[in-house]
């Protein structure tokens, strides 16, 4: 009997969802590789996407888009870890608030993060990044 491979859930950074909205072929291929049902959107990313809308039609479209993905919430442990990340990495690496919150939610959920901006995250201890086998230009640390 063949061993069944259980797909992993992967949290995606905001840039992945923005690329999906732009119909970027490379991003669409990676999402297909992971499996759309295995993609998780951090609540911070959902807020960023809603904040980027300019009218009611865009807002409705983005809300529908957000609802098509599983959501990763930030719990109290994640909020505290976000603060620790900012204290530890803000001055040396210019870690931003949204990235700190995304990283903390991924770490506390014990998942992996897929991003096209590895440099924004690769210094965070305990954060596991997902590297797509089909994209060779994203460098591992």
Helix or strand holding residue 114 (H, E): strand 112-114
134 is a domain residue: no
Please report the pLDDT score of residue 7 as a whole number: 58
Q: Left (φ > 0), alpha (ψ -120 to 50) or beta: where does 4 sit?
A: beta
- Quote the number of domains for the chain: 1
43 is a domain residue: yes
Q: What is the average pLDDT across 50-71? A: 97
pLDDT of 87-109, one tens digit each?
A: 999 999 999 999 999 999 999 99
5 is a domain residue: no
Q: Please give the Cα distance from 73 to 111 (Å, whole number).
A: 13
Q: Degrees (nearest 5) of the Cα angle 117, 118, 119?
A: 90
29 is a domain residue: yes
Confidence of residue 6 (pLDDT cuts 50, 70, 90): very low
- Asked whether the beta carbons of 69 and 41 are under 8 A apart, the reply is yes
47 is a domain residue: yes
- Asked whether the beta carbons of 31 and 136 are under 8 A apart, the reply is no
Q: Please give the Cα distance from 101 to 39 (Å, whole number).
A: 18
54 is a domain residue: yes
Which CATH number fits the domain that encloses residue 14? 3.40.50.1010
140 is a domain residue: no
Host domain of residue 38? 10-129
- Asked whether the beta carbons of 13 and 45 are under 8 A apart, the reply is yes
37 is a domain residue: yes
């Amino acid at each position: 009997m063949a061993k069944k491979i259980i797909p992993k859930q992967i949290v995606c950074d905001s840039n992945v969802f923005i690329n999906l909205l732009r119909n970027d072929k490379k991003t669409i291929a990676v999402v297909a590789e992971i499996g759309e049902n295995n993609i998780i959107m951090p609540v911070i990313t959902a807020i960023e996407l809603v904040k980027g809308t300019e009218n009611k039609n865009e807002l409705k479209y983005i809300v529908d888009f957000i609802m098509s993905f599983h959501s990763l919430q930030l719990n109290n442990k994640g909020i505290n870890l976000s603060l620790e990340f900012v204290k530890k990495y803000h001055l040396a690496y210019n870690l931003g608030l949204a990235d700190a919150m995304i990283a903390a939610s991924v770490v506390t959920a014990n998942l992996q993060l897929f991003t096209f901006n590895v440099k924004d995250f690769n210094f965070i201890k305990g954060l596991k990044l997902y590297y797509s086998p089909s994209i060779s230009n994203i460098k591992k640390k």
